Amino acid sequence: MAKKLYVGSLSYDTNDESLKNAFSQVGAVDSATVVIDRMSGRSRGFGFVEMSSDDEAQKAIDMWNGKELDGRKITVNEARPMTERPPRGGGGGGGGGFRNRY
């Protein structure tokens, strides 16, 4: 069964392909994704790697956690499942400004 890993403190130069290549040194990588900021188009500094087995995932953690990738010391651990988040507040607001009535 595939196991998803969180990879933090990534360099802005790291992309999906270089992340996959790095983790392929340990075993079969099902997917590798660097999370990109929608507004700037730049990396947010973290990503996820899905290894094909639990054993390979543990080897990847042992090999890469605290090691350097693209000039940055990265953090690697098992990804936690997403939790239910409360809905964000609405945009609303504004109004109440002074209107000149003269």
Q: What is the pLDDT of residue 87?
A: 80
The structural domains of the chain, ordered by start, are 3-74 (3.30.70.330)
Question: Over 70: is that where the pLDDT of 29 sits?
Answer: yes
User: pLDDT per residue over 44-77, tens digit each?
Assistant: 999 999 999 999 999 999 999 999 999 999 999 9
* pLDDT tens-digit map of 1-28: 689 999 999 999 999 999 999 999 999 9
> From CA 55, how far away is CA 29, in angstroms rounded?
12
DSSP 81: P
Instruction: Tell me what pLDDT residue 91 has.
Output: 61
Q: Is the pLDDT of residue 92 over 80?
A: no
pTM of this structure: 0.81
Q: Contact, 3 vs 78, CB < 8 A? A: yes
